[in-house]
Amino acid sequence: MSEMNRAGLTEQALTWKPMAAVLLCLRIVIGWQLLYEGLAKLLTPDWTAAPYLLLSRGFFPGFFHWLGSSPGMLRAVDFLNTWGLTLIGLALILGVVTRFASACGIVLLALYYLAQPPLIRTNYWAPVEGHYMVVNKTLVELVVLVVFLFVPAGALWGLDRLWRGWKSQKKAAPQDASAPPDTVILTRRRTLENLIGAPVLAVLGYAADRKYNWEKVHAITGATVKLQDLSLKDLKGELPQGTIGKLKISRLILGGNLIGGYSHSRDLIYGPQLFKAYNTDRKVFETLELAERAGINTFCADPKEMPLFTKYRELNSSKMQTLVQIWGQPKPADMKEVIDKAIDYGGTTLYIRGVEGDIFTRAGQLDVLGNALDYIKKQGVPAGIGAHSIEVPIQCEKAGLNPDYYVKTFHSDKYWSATPLKDRVEFSIIDPKLAQGRWNDNMFDLFPEKTIEVMATIKKPWIAFKVLAAGAFHPKDGFRYAFENGADFINVGMFDFQVVEDVNIAIDVLSSLKNRTRPWYS
C-alpha cells in the first residue's frame, strides 16, 4: 500500500477537480495571510514579540514570560517568528515543500495559541482577533495546515508538482510505452499551471506596497500585540521608592481619575465621556500592566474602580498596591461603609478624600476625620487625609490628629488660565459660591506658596496630587516643582501612552534635585 493510501487520501481522489480547487485555494489563502504577517513585521521598525509574550495569560505563561524578558531569547524569537512566517507563507503560496512548511506553520501557530488562548479571563490584554471561545483564527489556520500534512506531495498545482513531474519525465524515456499514464509530462501549459503562485505573489507585493505607502503596515494576529509606541525598553532606569509605614511606594503613583473618566477639562464638556470611551476594561488593564512593569507599584483608586482593579490583580497575579480614596457623602456615616468595602477589596492604604477633608474641616467637624482615621488604622492599614485647602493640614495638626500621611493638591499658579489671586477664596473649590461667580474649574491649589510654607513644618509624608493642574503644565515642569518644593510622592493621572515618558521624567527629576529644602519624610 502506498504512502498516500496509508494517509487515507489518495492522489486519485484529488483528481476530482472541485476538491483539488478548494484545497489549492485554502493553501494559497493561508499562505497569503502568513506571508503578509511576516512582511508586516519586517517593515515595522523596532517590531518585537515582547509584549505578546509578556502578556501571555494562557498555557505555560512562565515560559512565554521568560522568552519575552530574556534579551538573547527575544532576539531569536523575533528572528524566527518574522522569517518563519515569511518563508512558510512563501512556501504555501508557491506550493514548495508544502508538507514541511505546514508542519512548521503548525508549530508556530500552536505557540501563538498557547500564549494567548481564547479562553475565559484571558482576553483582557491582547487585542487578538477572532475570539469565539476556545476557537479563534489561529486555531482555524492550524487545523487547515494539519490537513495539508496528509495531502500527497505534488497532488496540487505548485512547485512540488513541477519538481515531481520533472523527475518523472527524466526517468521515463519518450519511447518507453510502459510509462504510467498518470505521469506528469512537462508541457508548457502544465508548467504555467504549477507556477500559479507567482501571480499571487505579484498581487500581494503590489497590494502590500500600496498599503505601506498609504498607511503603516499593521498586522494584529500572531505575535503583533504592542503595548506602546514608547516601549519599556526605553526606560531610563529604576523608579525610586519611598516608604509610608511599612509600605514601599514608588515616588510616582498612577492616578485613577483618567481611568475612571473624571476630568477637569475646563470648557471641554465632553472630556469625561471621551476618557471613559477610551479607557475600556482592556485599555485599563494595559495601562495598569504597563505602569507596573515600568516601576509604578501603587494605583490611586476610587472605591468604584476597585472591582475592576481586583479582577486585574487576580488575572495578572499582580503586586500593584492601592491608595484608596474614602468618601463620606451625603453623611459622615457613609465613610465606615466605604472603608469596609475598600478593605474587602484588598486596599493597601486608605485616605479620606480631599473633598471630605475640606468639607469637614470647614464645618469644624474634625472629630469626623479623626474617627475615620482611627477606624482605618484598626483595619491594619496606613491612614491618610486628603485636602485641596491648606487649612485642612493646618487644622488637623492643631487638633492633634495623627494621619500617617497627607494627600494635598500642589502646583504652581504660573499659567495663563489660573484664577487671579484677588479672586481666590479658601474652600471655593468645594463651594464655588464663596468666590461669588469668580471661580472656575481650573485651579486646584489656590495658594501654593502657603502650601510650601505649611508642609515644610509638617513631618509626615506628603503625597501631592494635581501637580500638573489638570494638564496646564508639562510633566517636566510639574514634577520638578512638586519634588523641589517638598512633595515626597506625586499622584499623577496618565493615559497608557504617557506612562513610560512620565516614569522617565520622574527618574530624571528625582536624580537632579538641587533646590529641595524639605527633608524626605518617607
Kindly report, residue by residue over 83-132, the tens digit of the pLDDT.
999 999 998 888 888 889 999 999 999 999 898 888 766 655 555 565 66
Q: Are 53 and 78 in contact (CB under 8 A)?
A: no
What grid cell was written down for 323? 491608595
pLDDT of residue 5: 43
Q: Nearest Cα to 418, choosing from 485, 374, 471, 372?
A: 471
Amino acid at 388: H
| Cα–Cα distance measured from residue 379 to residue 405, given in angstroms and rounded to the nearest whole number | 16
Mapped onto helix, strand or coil, the DSSP state of residue 386 is strand
Q: What are 164-213's pLDDT values in tens digits?
A: 666 666 665 555 545 454 444 446 556 655 566 567 667 766 666 666 66
For 279-328, the pLDDT digits (tens) are 888 889 889 989 998 999 999 999 989 999 998 888 777 899 999 999 87
| pLDDT tens by residue, 455-467 | 999 999 999 999 9
Compute the average pLDDT of residues 2-30.
64
CATH class of 248-511: alpha beta
Query: CA-CA-CA-CA torsion for 352, 358, 361, 362, nearest 10 degrees?
Result: -160
Q: Report the DSSP beta bridge partners of residue 385.
A: 352, 406
The amino acid present at 97, given as its one-letter code, is V
What digits encode the pLDDT tens for the residues 410-430?
Answer: 999 999 999 999 999 999 998
Question: Who's near 50: CB < 8 A, 6+ residues apart?
Answer: 68, 69, 74, 231, 232, 233
Q: Looking at the predicted structure, is the pLDDT value of residue 230 above 50?
A: no
Which grid cell sits at 173? 524515456
* Residues 265/220, Cβ–Cβ less than 8 Å: no
- H or E segment and range at residue 336: helix 334-344
Which residues are bridge partners to 250 per DSSP?
241
| Cα distance between residue 385 and residue 354, in whole Å | 7
pLDDT at 401: 96
Residue 161 backbone phi and psi in degrees, to 5? -70, -35
Domain spans in the chain, listed from the N-terminal domain onward = 7-221, 248-511
Instruction: Measure the CA–CA gap between 287 and 520, rounded to whole angstroms.
Output: 29
The pTM is what?
0.70
Strand partners for 325: 351
- SS3 string of 297-315? CEEEECHHHHHHHHHHHHH
Instruction: Please enumerate, as own/partner, the contacts of 423-430 that have beta carbons within 8 Å and a separation of 24 or more.
Output: 426/389, 426/390, 426/391, 427/358, 427/362, 427/389, 427/391, 429/358, 429/388, 429/389, 430/355, 430/358, 430/359, 430/362, 430/388, 430/389
State how far the Cα of 141 lies from the Cα of 137, in Å rounded to an integer: 6
- Quick check: 1 pLDDT over 50? no
Own/partner contacts of 513-521, CB < 8 Å, gap of 24 or more, are: 513/480, 513/483, 513/484, 514/484, 515/484, 516/483, 516/484, 516/485, 516/486, 517/456, 517/486, 518/455, 518/456, 518/485, 518/486, 519/459, 520/242, 520/488, 521/459, 521/460, 521/461, 521/462, 521/488
In the structure, what pLDDT confidence band is assigned to residue 7 with cuts at 50, 70 and 90? very low
Residue 502 C-alpha cell reads as 512620565
- Position 95 scores a pLDDT of 81
Q: Which three cell numbers stand for residue 249?
A: 511606594
CA 372 to chain centre: 36
pLDDT over 60 (residue 491): yes
490, β-bridge pairs: 252, 464
Alpha-carbon gap, residue 339 to 325, rounded angstroms: 9
What are the φ/ψ torsions at residue 58 (nearest 5 degrees)? -100, -130
**Average pLDDT of every residue of the chain:** 83
Rounded average pLDDT over 3-22: 56
- The b-or-e profile of 103-141 (16+ CB within 10 A means b, else e) is bbbbebbebbbbbbbbeeebbbbbebeebeeeebbbbeb
Cell numbers placing 1: 500500500
